[in-house]
Structure 1
C-alpha cells in the first residue's frame, strides 16, 4: 500500500484499501461500500476457478453490481485463454458489465520482451509473419476511464480497443532499428522450442504457456480487426508504434542500466 501511496502522491483525495488476489480474506474489506469494480487478470494467475470465483462471489455479496473487465481482443472466440473463463464467470454471477477487449499491448516491448531487446538486440517469438494489432496501454486506460465514468451508457456491452496499425514483429524490429540507429533482429521459432526456452530462463510454467499461446495462436486466426472505439470514446487518435518507440527509446537503448 505504501508503494501505491508514493506512486499516486499527487492525488491526495484517493483512498486506499489492502487487496490481494490470492488472499480471499482481503476481499470483503476491500469491496466495502464500492459500487463499481475494475477487474484485470495478473499474468501470474492462471487458475481462474480458484481465484476469480471467490473474488466475484465476494464482490456480489458486498453489493457490487457493476464490473468493468480488462479482457483481450478475441476472448469471446477462444475458450483456451483465461480471459474467456473470467468473462463467462462475470456473466454467470449476473453482474452488469462492460468487457474491454484491447489488442496487443505495445508495452510488452518494454516489459516481457525487454531483456532480450536490451541484451541481445533481438526479439524471439513463435509468431512467424502474422500481424498483430498494436495498442498503447495509455490509450486503453483513457478509453476505459470513459467507460467507467459513463457506465450506464455502455453497460452489458463489449468494446474492442485497438490501434490503427497491424504489423508483424519483423516490421516492428525494423522500426526499432530506424529509431535506435542499430540493427534489431526478429527470430521466429516453433512454439514448443519457445516454451522450453522460457522454462530454461526460469519463467513459471503457467506464464510460459500463456506467452507461448499469446504469440502462436494468432497464426491460426484471421488478421485482427481495427476498431474506431478509441476515437469514439476519447475523441483522439491512437498512438502509433513509431510514436511509442520514440517515446520509450531511453528504456531500449541503455543496456548498461539493465
Structure 2
C-alpha cells in the first residue's frame, strides 16, 4: 500500500512517517512544499505538494492508495484551499483517507474540520476521522513562550479539555492506515482538565507560578494577531477554545486504549517528560 502523508513535518505527521517508514505492508511518501528539506528531516521518500498549487497534485497523488490528511492551520477557506486537492486525489485513484480532525467537529460547524469531514463523507472514499482533542504539544510549542513567562491566556473559561498526546494520535493513524480501520474516533487523554488545573500542574512541575488568564474572544484575537500576524489562524484557535468554553472538549473516551491496547499518555507525565521546554 502506498501512503501519502500531508503535514509530514508537523506534530503528528512526522510520527506517522516514523511509524510507516519500515512497515512491511506500506510504502510512505512525505508531501511537503519543501521536499528537499523534508527528505533531510524525515529520511524517507518525499514529493512536492501544496494544497493551493494545483500543479503539484498530479505527481503527489500518482499511484497513491491511502492518504493521511492534515489541514494546514493557515488554510481555513475549505472550499477554495482544500477541496480542489481532495478532488484531485479522488480522481487519481486514492481510495482511503485518514483525516486528522478535531474533537467536537461533528457538533461545531465553526471549525473548518467540520466542512472537510462533510465533503469526505460524501465523496465515496473509505474514511477514518480521528477527532483529536487538544494536543498536549500545543502547550510546548504554540504557548511555550508565554508559559515560560509565567502565564497562559486562552478564552476557555472554566471549561475542561481532555488533552491528548500527539504521539498517541499518530500511533492510531498508523494502525488505521496499515489495517484499513474506518469510522470516527474521539481521541483523548485519560482525564479532562481545566486550564486552571493545567497551570497548577505546570506550576508544580516547573516549581514556579504559571497563571491562567481568561481573556475575552476579541482580546484574544487581537493579541494572537499581534503575535503571529495570522488572523485566520487566530480565528481557528478562538473557535477551538470556544469549544472548550462550551463544555464540548471535556469528553473522555476509551478510543485510544481500545485501538492501541494501552492507556493514553497522562498530562502530568507529559509535563514531567518535557519540563525543559519551558525552562
Scaled by the length of structure 2, the TM-score of the pair is 0.84
Among candidates 165, 170, 179, match of residue 150 of structure 1: 179
For 1:129-165, what per-residue CA distance to the aligned partner results, in whole angstroms no more than 9, with x for missing partners? 11011100001001111111111xx33x111111111
Question: 2:73 matched to which residue of 1?
Answer: 43
Output aligned runs, 1:74-85, within 5 Å.
74-85=104-115
In the other structure, the counterpart of 1:86 is: 116
In 2, the alpha carbon distance for the partners of 1:243 and 1:220 equals 27
Give the Å deviation of 1:203.
Answer: 2.9
C-alpha contact 1:56 1:93 (8 A) present in aligned 2: no
Query: Which of 23, 29, 37 in structure 2 is aligned with 1:3?
Result: 37
Q: Does 1:160 align with 2:191?
A: no
Residues 124-143 of structure 1 aligned to structure 2 (within 5 Å): 124-143=153-172
Question: What is the CA deviation profile of residues 100-143 of structure 1, one whole-angstrom value per residue up to 9, with x for unaligned ones?
Answer: 1111110110111112112x211011111110111000010011
8 Å CA contact 1:131, 1:166 repeated in 2: yes
Change (3 A) 1:240 1:45: same
- 1:158-204 CA deviation, whole Å, 9 max, x = no partner? 11111111001111111111111111111111111111122232431
- Distance, in Å, in 1 between the alignment partners of 2:199 and 2:242 is 18
Q: Distance in 2 between matches of 1:114 and 1:28?
A: 38
CA RMSD of the aligned region, Å?
A: 1.3
Match of 1:229 among 234, 239, 255: 255
Q: 2: CA distance between counterparts of 1:101 and 1:124?
A: 24
- Give 2:48's aligned residue: 18
Q: Report how many aligned residue pairs link the two structures.
A: 245
1:87 and 1:205 mapped to 2: Cα distance? Answer: 23
CA pair 54-184 structure 1, distance change in 2 beyond 3 A: same
Q: CA deviation at 1:219?
A: 1.8
| Structure 2, unaligned runs of 5 or more | 1-34
> Is 2:145 the partner of 1:112?
no
Deviation at 1:30, TM superposition (A): 0.6
Give the helix-richer structure, 1 or 2: 1
Q: Does structure 1 conserve the Cα–Cα contact (< 8 Å) formed by 2:102 and 2:113?
A: yes
Aligned residue number for residue 92 of structure 2:
62
User: In the aligned structure 2, how far is the partner of 1:220 from the partner of 1:179?
Assistant: 28
Provide the rounded CA distance (Å) in 1 between the counterparts of 2:139 and 2:96.
Answer: 32
How many Å apart are 1:2 and its aligned residue? 2.3
